[in-house]
Amino acid sequence: MAGNPGIEPRLLELIGQVPFWETVGISLDNAEVGRVRLRLAMREDLRTFGERRVLHGGAIATLIDSAAASATRTLRGEDEPPWRGLATTDMHVSYLAAVTGGEVIAEGRVLRAGRSVAFLDVEVRNEDGDLVARGSATMQIRRAN
């Protein structure tokens, strides 16, 4: 973790307040200022129906949104009061390859951030390191003051 050793514990505390992460199965792998890595294991209930039964695109989009939000949250300084909120105002997802099993890893990074908005890029790779999806997001930051 570069720069701020308090980031991961703070993120884990926030994640604990979002039961949806547990429902989907997203876990925090690493966090540093402006970057996060999240993981999502393939489960039967996350597969599409039909012959191929690949990881549902909605699960991938959720992972991208979660990585973007988490990377944004790493920007809050230790001395800064908790933010009033964070909202995804725009998100684009490109699906590049099907995921048939195993785990996917999302790397989210802040491209640019101001006081009230952040722009992010997220790459999702399979266990072999192949790029399976890419996303971009714009997050609104609602600071305490």
**CATH (domain of 131):** 3.10.129.10
Q: Can you give the pTM of this predicted structure?
A: 0.90
Q: Over the Cα atoms of the chain, what is R_g?
A: 15
Report yes or no on 2 lying in a domain: no
Q: What is the pLDDT of residues 75-111, one digit of tens each?
A: 988 788 888 889 999 999 999 999 999 999 999 999 9
pLDDT of 15 over the 80 cut: no
Report yes or no on 51 lying in a domain: yes
User: Which domain does 36 fall in, by range?
Assistant: 7-142
Helix (H, G, I), strand (E, B) or coil at 69: helix
| Contact status, residue 135 vs residue 61, Cβ threshold 8 Å | yes
Report yes or no on 33 lying in a domain: yes
Sheet order of strands, 26-32 included: 26-32, 35-41, 103-113, 117-126, 131-142, 85-95
Q: What is the pLDDT of residues 32-58, one digit of tens each?
A: 999 999 999 999 899 988 788 899 999
Report yes or no on 1 lying in a domain: no
